[in-house]
Amino acid sequence: MNTNSTNTRFSLFDELDRGLNHLVTEVLNQDVRKSNAPSLTVFELDNSYVIECDLPGVKLEDIKLLVEDGVLEISGERTEPTTEATHVTLDERTYGQFRRKLKLSKDVNAEGVDAELGNGVLRISIPKSDHILPRQVTIRSSNE
d(CA 55, CA 65) in angstroms, rounded, equals 13
Q: How confident is the model at residue 84 (pLDDT cuts 50, 70, 90)?
A: confident
CA angle 63, 67, 71 (to 5 degrees): 110
122: CB partners within 8 A, 6+ apart: 51, 52, 53, 55, 63, 65, 74, 115, 116
For the whole model, what pTM was predicted? 0.66
DSSP 8: H
9-52 residue pLDDT tens: 556 667 666 766 666 666 555 544 456 789 999 999 988 999 99
Task: Name the percent of the chain in helix, strand, coil, to the closest 5.
Answer: 30, 35, 40
